[in-house]
Structure 1
Amino acid sequence: MEVLRKRPTGKGPAEWFTGDVWFDVIHAGTEPSRMRVNVVRFAPCSRTAWHRHAVGQTLHVTEGIGLVQSRGGEIVVMWPGDTVRTPPGEWHWHGAAPDHFMAHLAMWEGVGEADVPETEWGALVTDEEYHAHPAVG
């Protein structure tokens, strides 16, 4: 058994996030495990850039109200208790609704190959893209 002490909370880098986003690494996966788990906290209007994961990603909303969109799809409102699965290679973004904080568990797997990125980051989500969402109560 190994007890892993909490690491310092990290600020989401501006290349990957718009607004104030903070994350805590829960598990970084040591071979043979490839599991990755972060708690990610988003301030209102903050969000990820477009990105995709080689092996997919699962999000589980723990508090607040969030938004998620796959490229070419509708923006979907996420509520506490909702779990969202994006398949391998699907471009998407996620973040907080305009007037709400949101926190989720982000879970994904590494690929086990040093030359293959587990996450590929694209352009930041524009304000126009972000504000094309449905009304949130």
Structure 2
Amino acid sequence: MHAVIPYVVAAALFGIGVYGVLRRRNAILVLMAVELMLNAVNVILVAADATVRATLTGVQPEAWAHPAPEPRAGAIFALFVIVLAAAEVGVGLAIVLQYYRLRRAVVLDEVALHEHDHERVTA
């Protein structure tokens, strides 16, 4: 497999995620778009780690790194991103559900940032 394929897939995922964040009005769909962008970053981390390891095959670790790098460092960083994404989803969904309970809508265009903004919108 060419090293370019995962990078193109990750760029496409990230582009779709950016489009979703910029164009969607529903808060849940915006959270899903952010998840797409985080998954694109995971693909890049793992692909970059595999690419660097394939490039440095046969080179002694002392020649380019001290101390020797952890095995599959890209996958380890990807696990950290997955944990952060899970926390982001938990907090984000809690905020969206609380807002839905208060206002009965999750449309981002109608979100009042201040209480007097809500009074002006409903008046």
TM-score of the pair, normalised by structure 1 = 0.22
- Bigger helix fraction: 2
TM-score of the pair, normalised by structure 2 = 0.24
- Bigger strand fraction: 1
